Structure 1
């Protein structure tokens, strides 16, 4: 396996981005955060961290600490994360340039995340990244990833129903499966999981990070955005 596929131009009607591991990397902050929360709720933080990435905090708490599984607690808890650990997050390489180009062209995009509104807005403010016009958060749906509800709602917010013409950007297996279950094409990033874990979720492309993705053009007439994907993963079976 090698990240050496030649550049490929692909066209979509809309783009849906996961947040953590796709636009930002807050792994170090999340680890500190869950260690604090683990002590507070009496659960081994390592147990939480083994399965937390890409999943909503409220879904984790329903299993580990049901008495804390309410939106008031989760929003308060997550809202503190960027404030307490703001220096421990960085943007995913290529994310800012890609989002800036989409915004400049007025191309349709949204963030679809397992985080709450206080968490998402907090991180975007700390890292001075652009806020999307359309946002789907943990509070938006009854079931979190890998359930496709979040990406189906993202499609609705963009006013799109041609699912195969929408690209999802994801790093976690749960998120990749959610995007695929929603009928979208999915680009998997190897930023938080191994190549093998990402591939097992069966995304359509696998790249290291968003440096491999550039906007080529946006045609407002037909609402289509063309991206160039370079240095995608090539497998022996390809």
Structure 2
């Protein structure tokens, strides 16, 4: 397998971005934070980290510490993360440039994340990244990824519904998120930033790229955003 697919130009009516692993990489911060939280609540942090990426904290806690699985605790716990470990997060390459180009063109986009509102806004503020007009967070839906509800809600916020005539692109790094995006009727770009290539490919995204440097906006007109996807994994290697 190699990232050698020729550049491809594709158009969509809107874009839905995951947050961690897609716009930012807060892995180092999350590892430190879960070690602290794990010690506080008496759960092995290694067990937490094995299952937490791409999933809502409340869903992880429902399994490991049901008594802590409430929004008051989760929002407070996640809200501390950017404040305590802000220096441990970095941008995913290409993320800021892509977001800036979408905003400059007034293109429709939203963030759809498994993080809570305090976590998402905290990271955007720390890294001085743009806040979206539309945001779907952990609190927004009853069931988290891989359930498609979050991306269905993202489509609704962009007024793009669930009809096949409205092509929407999801940008994701976790297998759970890729599966959710596909189930919501979206095309999906899978980023190999937090999981192995094999794990990303197994979730069956439409394209696989290293990071967002492979995704560039070409134009935004007539209600459609045209992107160029370059240096993707060769098409034959990605199951459709």
- For residues 57 and 207 of structure 1, what CA distance do their matches in structure 2 show? 27
Secondary structure of 2:125's counterpart equals: helix
Equivalent residue, structure 1, for 2:170:
168
What is the rounded CA distance, in whole Å, between the counterparts of 1:11 and 1:236 in structure 2? 21
Mapping 1:98-137, distance limit 5 Å:
98-137=98-137
| 1:46 aligned partner | 46
Q: Are the equivalent residues in 1 in contact too, given 2:207–2:235 (CA < 8 A)?
A: no
**Alignment pair present for 1:198 and 2:200:** yes
| TM-fit CA distance, 1:234 | 1.1
User: 2 CA distance for matches of 1:49 and 1:189?
Assistant: 19
Aligned-partner Cα distance in 1 for 2:94–2:235: 23
- Asked whether the 8 Å contact 1:199–1:206 carries over to 2, the reply is yes
Following the alignment from structure 2 to structure 1, what is the Cα–Cα distance between the partners of residues 69 and 227?
40
**Alignment equivalent of 1:187, drawn from 167, 186, 189:** 189
Q: Distance in 2 between matches of 1:153 and 1:130?
A: 21
| Alignment partner, residue 11 of structure 2 | 11
Instruction: Evaluate the alpha carbon distance shift between residue 235 and residue 166 of structure 1 in structure 2; reply closer, same or farther with a 3 A threshold.
Output: closer
Q: With the length of structure 1 as denominator, give the TM-score of the two structures.
A: 0.97
How many angstroms apart in 1 are the aligned matches of 2:102 and 2:41?
41
Q: Distance in 2 between matches of 1:180 and 1:118?
A: 27
SS in structure 1 at match of 2:145: coil
How many angstroms does 1:63 deviate by?
Answer: 0.5
User: 1:2·1:235 contact (CA, 8 Å) conserved in 2?
Assistant: no
Find the residue that maps to 1:110 and give its secondary structure: strand
Which residue pairs with 2:142 in the alignment? Answer: 142
What's the secondary structure of 1:225's corresponding residue?
strand
User: Structure 1: which 4+ aligned runs deviate by more than 3 Å?
Assistant: 235-238
Aligned to 1:224: 224
Secondary structure at the aligned position of 2:188 is classed as: strand
TM-score by length of 2: 0.97
Superposed CA RMSD: 1.0
